[in-house]
Amino acid sequence: MSSPRSCRPPRPLLGLAAALLSLGPAWAQVPAPSTPPTPPEDSANNKPPVAPPRTGRPAQRPTIQRADGQAQPNERLDRVEVQGGASDSALRRASTASKIVVGREEIERFGDASVADVLKRLPGVTLGGRPGRGGEIRMRGMGGGYTQILVNGERMPPSFSLDQLPPDQIERIEVLRAPTAEYGARAVAGTINIVLREALQKRLNDLRLVLGAERGDIKPQFSWTRNDKLGEQPGSAYNLTVTATDNKRRDDVDTRITTRNLASGAESFQHNTGESLDERRNLNANGRLQLRLAGGDMLTVMPFVVLARGKSDSEFRQNPGKEFDLANTHGESEFSMLRLNSMWNKRLGEDTRLELRGGLGRARLDNDSLRREWVGGGDGAPLLPRRTQQDKTSNRDRSWNLASKLSHQLGQIDGVEHSLVGGLEIEGNRRDQTRETRSDGLRLLALEDFGDDFNASTLRVAGYVQDEWNPSKQWSTYVGLRWEGIRTESSAANYGVSNTSKVLTPLLHAVWKPDEKSRDQVRMSLTRSYRAPNTQDLIARPSVNTQFPCPPAGLCGPNAANYPDRIGNPQLKPETALGIDIALERYLSKGGVLSASLFARRISDLMRNVTTEETVAWAGTPRWVSRPTNIGKALTTGIELEAKFRLDEFIEDALPVSLRSNLSLFHSKVDGIPGPNNKLDQQPRHTANLGADYRLRSLPLSLGASLNLVPANTVQQTLLQESHNARKRVFDAFALWNINRDWALRLSASNLAPLDYSSGSVIDAGDELITTDNHGRTFAVWQLRLEIKL
């Protein structure tokens, strides 16, 4: 366990906080405007809220503009604009497809350093990796690409990581628990759509200065957001957000490997210890230019730029050493991405609208790493160099997309109005990769037949239609049909691979209210979704494990089952899933919600990495190789419970404390794998979140805390391999001091009371059993954030 000292805020943060707060009394002399109480979500008549279209790509939130009053004699009054819009709860309630909307207030609440930390508090969302460090985002506990991640409704290039997107650049996050025709059906677990900052009809000039700390490393961050109207033309506006970060992550390496000979019972042990340091600097900028054209048309241009530079250093020692005793690796990387998207909305008639979208993208990722291995060093003996290996990789990604959507409000048919939507999409992606590996300065002859360079291209074509209508005041119905085809081609020195997949997905969503004025409603969805293989999983080019490398002048030797080589599978087929979702929701008068949802997915052609010992072209003896394979079918089911409300809504005269809680229970079974742990990869038995926040009445101070729990998990991956992860407990807290109406100071902490993290595997290699356990400490992450409205 980490020492208690690791949970204390670093002294520089405390000193800076004290200095800023000491100025509070002087600033506080400027009276802050009184804020009227927020009205209930609905009116006294319980009329349903006005919201954008119920499914698909939500339009910009509606705004209301008002000029108050007229000038009196000898008196000058400024024009005041009041901005209003549908709340997150209202948008969620009005959607026919099950959807959770996370707005700016919730994104900012804890001052999270990453998007993943914001999402981990939502029902059924879990993260991979160490606690407090973000990680792969998984809905319903399903890892390995079952969750579709979009930015502004589009997929990002493979080299882009959500860790490169600061929360300050996000307007809202939309979480859809079932696929829709417009967002696409590559969403077995669901879809998370991250909407970047929008151009609003109001003036914003916000500056945020952040100082973070973890394990003694300081992490500064700067963010600036500018938003304003363009001229006097209603609807024209712009937004620009720029963020710069400097991040450091330091991790311990502590791996214990036990190998047991099944025939003799003899055991051998190996202990690897060391440390790694990863440093990364990011510069992000995204904007939105919105122009109102003649005839009510709207043109929107959305540039998005990411620049990143990083370096990493690691060192670990093997005891006892086999091939080497000490290894250190130094790596440097540079990443750049530029995307330019545009959207044109045109009204073709009173009931018909056309939306055209297009985009271009470029991304580049360069990696250069040098690994040095040494022998000796024990009992005062000198370290002697054994081997060096240098890997240089350069990826160039190019993408383009075109899409059109036609919406038409059909006249009444049997007294019911239908909203018809149809769309066509075409998207192209191409990756060109160059790779050079040298051992002791020489090229590896064993891999020359596979080539150092390759290219891969993907062409996706899709078409969809959907119809939304209300058969009665108690029913809302959505029927959609989507066809999507993906063709992937790749080539290298002496081979070419082509893979084509086509999927037709019918979709049905419905909402029923017991009474048209009721706050209760029942959701139902019946869908078909799929998961396509990654391009890298289709490429039949080996990646040799660095623990058992190939010599420069000959074929590779043997390796171990826990250090396999990796290679793609050109025959890999996409997974398909039939799904059903049922949810009961109650919306409370003060914006809260109580929800219980059930889901089930029946998956065919399940993909999983399988490790086997094979005779391969790059080795003179058999080597262990891991490749993705379709292994059969699986079934997963679960229940997700959520409660968000204010305490005084249920207890009279209680403090208006906002409470948030959720509990998710999961079960899955993979056919053909022995139990009892034949589950989907990384899926825990349950997850839970509990949080609360309160704004003090006597002070301009808000306090909040959140607890995230994920139990230990063991999964039988294949007939020969089992993996396990330790339990996670992440406790976050924040304090927000509103110094005056333009200045605020936010102190936040993530992963308070940290737990050590561990993971590992057990591999049956035929004649021996190999057990691997990885351990590492985790630490609290502190942030001091000064928020200024200029």
Tell the residue number behind the tokens 């690791």, with chain if given.
Answer: 6
> What pLDDT score was predicted for residue 11?
62
> Domain range spanning residue 330?
4-30+80-302+323-789
Given a cut of 70, whether residue 32 has pLDDT beyond it is no
- What secondary structure does DSSP assign to 228-280, as a single string? EE-TTSTT-EEEEEEEEEEEEEEEEEEEEEEEEETTT--EEEEEEEEEEEEEE
| Beta carbons of 649 and 40 less than 8 angstroms apart | no
When the pLDDT of each residue in the chain is averaged and rounded to a whole number, the result is 87
Is 407 inside a domain boundary?
yes
Q: Which two tokens mark 24?
A: 């509070």
Q: Which two tokens mark 211?
A: 């100082």
- Write the pLDDT tens digit of every residue in 408-460: 998 766 667 889 999 999 999 999 999 888 889 888 877 776 767 888 999 99
- The backbone torsions φ and ψ at residue 211, rounded to the nearest 5 degrees and listed phi first, read -125, 115
> What pLDDT score was predicted for residue 90?
87
Q: Which residues contact 676 (CB under 8 A, 6 or more apart)?
A: none
Confidence of residue 632 (pLDDT cuts 50, 70, 90): very high
Residue with more model confidence, 82 or 498: 498
Cα–Cα distances (Å) from 290 to 64, 234, 243, 303, in that order, read: 17, 11, 21, 12
Torsion sign, CA atoms 180, 600, 533, 566:
positive
| Beta carbons of 136 and 128 less than 8 angstroms apart | yes
Residue with more model confidence, 133 or 399: 399
> What pLDDT score was predicted for residue 482?
97
Given a cut of 90, whether residue 271 has pLDDT beyond it is yes
DSSP 296: G
AA identity, residue 90: A
Confidence of residue 17 (pLDDT cuts 50, 70, 90): low
How many domains, the chain?
A: 1
Q: Which two tokens mark 17?
A: 């906080």
Given a cut of 70, whether residue 63 has pLDDT beyond it is no
Is 44 inside a domain boundary?
no
Average pLDDT over residues 137-149: 90
Torsion sign, CA atoms 650, 654, 659, 661:
negative
> What pLDDT score was predicted for residue 12?
55
Is 68 inside a domain boundary?
no
Is 389 inside a domain boundary?
yes
Using DSSP's 3-state secondary structure scheme, residue 358 falls into strand
> What pLDDT score was predicted for residue 1?
44
Q: Which two tokens mark 333?
A: 């990387």
Is 179 inside a domain boundary?
yes
The two beta strands, 147-151 and 190-196, are parallel
Using DSSP's 3-state secondary structure scheme, residue 665 falls into strand
> What pLDDT score was predicted for residue 49?
39
Q: Is 93 left (phi over 0), alpha (psi -120 to 50) or beta?
A: alpha
- Write the pLDDT tens digit of every residue in 650-690: 998 899 999 999 999 999 999 999 989 999 998 999 999 99
Is 715 inside a domain boundary?
yes
Instruction: Measure CA of the first residue to CA of the last residue in the chain; give whole Å.
Output: 44
Residue with more model confidence, 153 or 19: 153
Is 199 inside a domain boundary?
yes
Burial 171-204 (b: 16+ CB within 10 A, else e): bbbbbbbbbbbbbbbbbbbbbbbbbbbbbbbeee
Q: Which residues contact 776 (CB under 8 A, 6 or more apart)?
A: 130, 251, 252, 253, 254, 756, 757, 758
Burial 384-406 (b: 16+ CB within 10 A, else e): eebbebebebbbbbbbebebebb
Find the CATH number of the domain harbouring 708: 2.40.170.20
DSSP 202: S
- Write the pLDDT tens digit of every residue in 67-106: 333 444 443 333 333 344 568 888 898 888 899 999 999 9
Cα–Cα distances (Å) from 34 to 82, 146, 252, 538, 740, in that order, read: 15, 47, 50, 60, 12
Average pLDDT over residues 344-354: 94
How far apart CA 335 and CA 58 sit, in angstroms, is: 31
- What secondary structure does DSSP assign to 122-182, as a single string? STTEEE-SSTTS---EEETT--SS-EEEEETTBPPPTT--GGGS-GGGEEEEEEESS-BTT
- The backbone torsions φ and ψ at residue 548, rounded to the nearest 5 degrees and listed phi first, read -130, 70
- What secondary structure does DSSP assign to 9-30, as a single string? PPHHHHHHHHHHHHTHHHHTTS
Beta strands, E only, 20-122: 99-102
Query: How many CB atoms are located within 10 Å of the residue 417 CB?
Result: 13
Given a cut of 60, whether residue 60 has pLDDT beyond it is no
- Write the pLDDT tens digit of every residue in 753-788: 999 999 999 999 989 999 999 999 999 999 999 999
Query: How many CB atoms are located within 10 Å of the residue 5 CB?
Result: 7
Measured torsion, CA atoms of residues 492, 497, 502, 503, in degrees rounded to the nearest 10: -70
| Nearest one of 305, 307, 333 to 394, comparing CA atoms | 333
Is 273 inside a domain boundary?
yes
